[in-house]
Amino acid sequence: MTATFALATARDIHPNGPKEDALILAALRERGAEARTIVWDETAPSALTGTKVVIRTTWNYQEHFPQFIKWLEGVERAGGSLINPKALLLGTIDKRYLVDFRARGFAVPETIACTTLAELEAAFKDPAFADAVLKPVVGGGAVGLRRVRAKDPASWAGVDFALPQLLQRFLPEIETGGELTFVFFGGIYSHAVRKRGQPGDIRVQVDWGGTVEVIQPPSALIDQAAHFLTALSEMPAYARVDVVEVGDNLQLMELEVIEPELFCLYVPGTAERFADALMAL
């Protein structure tokens, strides 16, 4: 039976998804699958029965969070399959999973969640958060992210606690070495890139003026990145491990299994490896 895939995007993305999704669609079709793009909040779950729904670029979900969760649940009720599975999506969509990972012994910078201004101000009494990064617990693309300093109240003025905020110790290495991203398909390493922000800006995304450089990391770092996948309840079909290199060790920034950019446009063969992993499910 022919496998049917739907790559989920958002209405404010190009109707056919981003350019890298065009490569993924082509690779799936070359392997005999039916593959198309859907806009998640314009597609009824009942239309996805028997379809493998790949959560790709649903980059407005933080603005419609309850609706998005209901849609994911509706897809499963209608007989569709979520990729990655719902348990992984729901387990990492809220960045407070990083607090749990650290408590379990994984290399994560000091991290806490703050739900009120009073909690944030109390957290600044801890020297670990004298210089820190603050961001909403749900969201992506560095939207709402800011660097805060305990001795500079202006740096956290106007923080919106409509969503809880994640406070994380600032790693100065991100200013010198940027952020490393390791991509895995089915638990198998695919490729890695280094992302750097503009001078004085810790946001490494291209949308904020950041740059992307393909790298060939040593096997020791690949092994460290792969170890973070063991924190998950099951092995994801696709995962992006975002880390900062501190000496010879990697510190986890985020483990993206929801809607990560995969850098298909930078690394030839990525779309094909991803398609192989999807077809193998």
Q: Which of 14-18, 38-42, 213-217 has the lowest mean pLDDT?
A: 14-18
For residue 149, the domain's CATH number is: 3.30.1490.20
DSSP structure string for 81-110: EEES-HHHHHHHSSTTHHHHHHHTT----S
**Same domain for 165 and 182?**
no
237: nearest Cα among 190, 198, 197, 204 = 190
**Same domain for 187 and 209?**
yes
In a domain, 161, yes or no: yes
Q: pLDDT tens, 208-232?
A: 667 899 999 999 999 999 999 999 9
Could you give the C-alpha distances from 6 to 49, 82, 154, in angstroms and in order? 11, 10, 45
The full length of the chain comes to 281
Yes or no: say if 91 and 236 are a contact pair by the CB < 8 Å rule. Answer: no
In a domain, 273, yes or no: no
Q: What's residue 210's pLDDT?
A: 73
* Beta strand residue intervals within the chain, DSSP E: 4-9, 34-39, 52-57, 81-83, 111-114, 131-136, 146-149, 165-169, 179-185, 188-196, 211-215, 238-246, 249-256
In a domain, 63, yes or no: yes
**Same domain for 159 and 194?**
no
- Domain residues for the domain of 194 are 173-257
How many structural domains compose the chain?
3
In a domain, 31, yes or no: yes
Yes or no: say if 77 and 131 are a contact pair by the CB < 8 Å rule. Answer: no
Read off the pLDDT band of 201 (50, 70, 90). low
With the C-alpha atoms ordered 263, 34, 7, 276, is the resulting torsion angle positive or negative? negative
For residue 214, the domain's CATH number is: 3.30.470.20
When pLDDT is averaged across residues 235-242 and rounded to a whole number, the result is: 97
In a domain, 276, yes or no: no
In a domain, 103, yes or no: no
**Same domain for 160 and 201?**
no
For residue 72, the domain's CATH number is: 3.40.50.20
**CA 54 to chain CA centroid, nearest Å:** 14
Q: What's residue 133's pLDDT?
A: 93
Q: What's residue 142's pLDDT?
A: 61
**Same domain for 19 and 71?**
yes
Q: pLDDT tens, 63-90?
A: 888 999 999 999 999 999 999 999 999 9
Q: What's residue 97's pLDDT?
A: 96
Its pTM stands at 0.93
Q: pLDDT tens, 112-165?
A: 999 999 999 999 999 999 999 999 988 776 667 789 999 999 988 888 888 899
In a domain, 41, yes or no: yes
